[in-house]
Structure 1
Amino acid sequence: PVSGEQNVILAQFFYLLGLVFFFSIDGHHLLIAALAKSFEHIPPGAAVFKMNLAEIGARAFQGMFVTALRLAGPVIAIALVTDLALGLMVRMVPQINVFMLGFPLKIAAGLVALAVTVPLLGGVLARVFEGMVRDVTVLARGLGG
């Protein structure tokens, strides 16, 4: 509120959930160890930019995109199914006010989807953070020459 930016409560919740999980699996120690180990691959002042860095960056982006789809996929699918059901309902029973019915139905379906997927996030986030350490090591090897 002080900075004037809008903040969605669920986005803040997932940010804090990821942060707590990152610290609970000692992700900060893993990341610091990977950065310290990068000095074995890249001595200070010896970084060499090679052509395969673009490939490493593209793979990292691909991994982030696929992970984002895996995390958001169930909630997006529930929202799509809810919209399709509301669309069919409007066609079959035009007297129903879909805006009055649809808004709480979408919220309820989204909250149910979140309640189902949040307990499953632990395993996914553990793999994401382990992959982060692996990607830092691969990047260090790529810059090492």
Structure 2
Amino acid sequence: MAIFENFPAFLLIFVRIASFFVTLPLFSYRTMPNILKIGLSFFLAWITFFAINAPVLEINGQYFMLIIKEALVGLLVGFIAYVIMSAIQIAGGFIDFQMGFAMANVIDPQTGAQSPIMGQFLYTFALLLMLGLNAHHLLIDGIYYSYQFVPLGELSFGLGQESTTEFVVKIFNAMFIVAFQMAIPVVGSLFLVDIALGIVARTVPQFNIFVVGLPIKIVVSFIMLFLVMGALFGIMQKIIEMMIRTMRSLLELLGGM
């Protein structure tokens, strides 16, 4: 079979796809068994091998550098997608800070790291929305079309270019801007509540504002979340679209296009 005759090329494809799943949202989580990730990577590498007409490669000194290059491409593209989706958890962190839930972090079973309560709440909805929109198909489609931008067997790619570094910095900047836009309705309303509570505390000193302040802020937060949930889903959809576009733009930069 052709795959055994050109096994080095198949191995490079497998390394890129497996590395892609290491950092990609949804596919990289601990709740997905490792055997499933490896099997899915192998199956997609098998399909991609015959779809892209892989060149014949030899195992030599340059081949080991190609393995490192393929791993870096997969990890970086998946990491950029993860950074974009992290804007939702950052927005939840802003909301938690104003609600008084900043100390009550929970362990995210998907990543094993601490996560804000509202951030995990919104992030779960975002993952369900991504599945409902079939965006995970576009993520897998992106790794297939990555071979059009970063060809197999070429050692050079634009990782160290100034344009790539500037692009990554802009993505981090956009992540915080989107997170602030998601959180501003709830955070803004809680800021007004703080002003009102401050006025009450000054005008009625006998009123124990610390006892009633936290429950009021929690109730207002949930009311605002209920009112703006439709808009939040719209922003989540824009974030998913932004994630797809960002992956493509990064691949174009890595490919020198």
Structure-2-length-normalised TM-score: 0.52
Q: Aligned in 2, Cα 1:52/1:8: closer, same or farther, shift over 3 Å?
A: closer
RMSD: 2.2
Question: What is the identity, as a one-letter code, of the residue corresponding to 2:158?
Answer: V
List gaps (5 residues or longer) in structure 1: none
The residue that corresponds to 1:140 in the other structure is 251
Compute the displacement of 1:96 (Å).
0.5
**CA contact under 8 A between 2:186 and 2:224: conserved in structure 1?**
yes
Q: Which of 15, 21, 30 in structure 1 is aligned with 2:129?
A: 21
Higher helix share: 1
Tell whether the 8 Å contact from 2:158 to 2:164 is kept in structure 1 after alignment.
no
**Identity score, percent:** 32
Q: Using CA pairs below 8 Å that are at least 6 residues apart, which structure has the higher relative contact order?
A: 1
**Larger radius of gyration, structure 1 or 2?**
2
Give TM-score scaled by structure 1 length: 0.89
**Are residue 127 (structure 1) and residue 238 (structure 2) matched?**
yes
Which aligned pairs between 1:1-145 and structure 2 lie closer than 5 A? 9-46=117-154, 47-49=157-159, 50-145=161-256
The aligned amino acid for 1:20 is L
Q: Is the 8 A contact 1:35 1:136 kept in 2?
A: no
Deviation string 1:4-45 (CA, Å, 9 cap, x unpaired) is 976654333212111101111111011111221111000134
The superposition leaves residues 108-137 of structure 1 with CA deviations (integer Å, 9 ceiling, x where unpaired) of 111111111212122111111111111101
**3-state SS, counterpart of residue 101 of structure 1:** helix
Deviation digits for residues 69-125 of structure 1 (CA, Å, limit 9, x no counterpart): 111111111111111110111011111010122121111111111111212122111
Report the 3-state secondary structure (helix = DSSP H, G, I; strand = E; otherwise coil) of the residue aligned with 1:58: helix
Give the whole-Å Cα distance in 2 for the aligned partners of 1:5 and 1:88: 39
